[in-house]
Amino acid sequence: MMKRKILITIITILVILIVCIKIVSGFKTTVQYYEQEPEVVNKKEDISTSKIINQNKEEKKNNNQENKDIKKEIKDDVKKENKKNANISNKVDNNSLKKSVTNKSSSTIKKESTNIKISISIDTLVLIKSPGKDKVDDNLKEFIPKNGYILSNIDIDVKKNASVYDVLIEASRKYGFSVEHSGSGSNLYIQSIGNISEFDAGSQSGWVYMVNNTFPNYGVGSYHLKNNDKIKFKYTTNRGKDVGNGY
């Protein structure tokens, strides 16, 4: 009887041990499971983080490419705009040049249309040969040109509708000889040219003029000229008879 009780006790203890071992084993498995679970979670998180990083890298790469494309487009636009502005500038310059040329041409045309060319000669030929030569005193000889011409067929540009007097004054300014006159308008009379005056070679001496080989019946202030008219001032010693005409 005693042995039986001991055997039962031993069996009971063994059963209890086995149960305890199973419980402990189950607890360890549970603990290991929970210990492993964060690693899985961490692995999942690492994978997600890696994906996010890769996505960010890809997005950054795409953004960089987009920025490059945008910069390129901006550069192309700037080049096009500069080229367009350059073309506009060239057109403006060309238009300005054309306008300038047109204005110059218009100015030239205007100048040509408002100016006329007149030929003028001034001679003292009667004073370098007899009988006029004999009437010249010594004080006058220094002013008489050796060839007899103060001016010989010189072209003068003057305003349209200029008078004979206007041409004579313009010539005197340009070539540096003196002119003296009396009166005004239709009564304007030439007294002296180049220091050679009326009455220097006698009581009938003085200056007469011709236009296109004709002696006009107008004073030098009243005769208005046309383009290419030819003026001749001549010194006379006998009221024009010795130069082809008389008063």
Pairing between strand 115-123 and 230-236?
A: parallel
The residue ranges of every structural domain in the chain are: 117-243
- Is pLDDT above 60 for 138? yes
Host H or E run for residue 154: strand 149-159
Please state, in angstroms and rounded to a whole number, the distance separating the CA atoms of residues 182 and 202. Answer: 19
Of 200, 220, 199, which is closest to residue 208 (Cα–Cα)? Answer: 220
Q: What is the mean pLDDT of the chain?
A: 79
* Coil, strand or helix at 226: coil
Q: Residue 21's pLDDT is what? A: 80
Q: Residue 139's pLDDT is what? A: 87
For the ranges 40-44, 75-79, 177-181, 189-193, which has the lowest average pLDDT? 40-44
Question: What is the CATH architecture of 117-243?
Answer: Beta Complex (2.170)
Please state, in angstroms and rounded to a whole number, the distance separating the CA atoms of residues 16 and 23. Answer: 10
More confident residue, 6 or 52: 6
Share of the chain above pLDDT 90, in %: 45
The answer to whether 233 and 118 are in contact (CB under 8 A) is no
Phi, psi for residue 173 in degrees, rounded to 5: -65, -40
Q: Residue 66's pLDDT is what? A: 64
Question: Band of the pLDDT at 43, cuts 50, 70, 90?
Answer: very low
Helix boundaries (H) for the chain: 2-114, 138-141, 164-175
Please state, in angstroms and rounded to a whole number, the distance separating the CA atoms of residues 163 and 180. Answer: 16
Contacts of 172 (CB under 8 A, 6+ apart): 178, 179, 193
Question: Band of the pLDDT at 15, cuts 50, 70, 90?
Answer: confident
* Coil, strand or helix at 182: strand
- Is pLDDT above 70 for 143? yes
What type of residue sits at position 225? L
Please state, in angstroms and rounded to a whole number, the distance separating the CA atoms of residues 6 and 22. Answer: 24
Phi, psi for residue 121 in degrees, rounded to 5: -135, 145
Q: What is the mean predicted confidence (pLDDT) over 213-219? A: 93
Share of the chain above pLDDT 70, in %: 62
- Is pLDDT above 70 for 29? no
- Is pLDDT above 70 for 215? yes
Question: Band of the pLDDT at 34, cuts 50, 70, 90?
Answer: very low
Q: Residue 103's pLDDT is what? A: 56
Give the dihedral of Cα atoms 153, 158, 163, 165; nearest 10 deg.
Answer: -60
Question: Within 13 Å, how many C-alpha atoms sit on residue 55's CB side?
Answer: 6
Q: What is the mean predicted confidence (pLDDT) over 90-119? A: 60
Q: Residue 40's pLDDT is what? A: 40
Of 175, 167, 77, which is closest to residue 115 (Cα–Cα)? Answer: 167
The reported pTM is 0.55
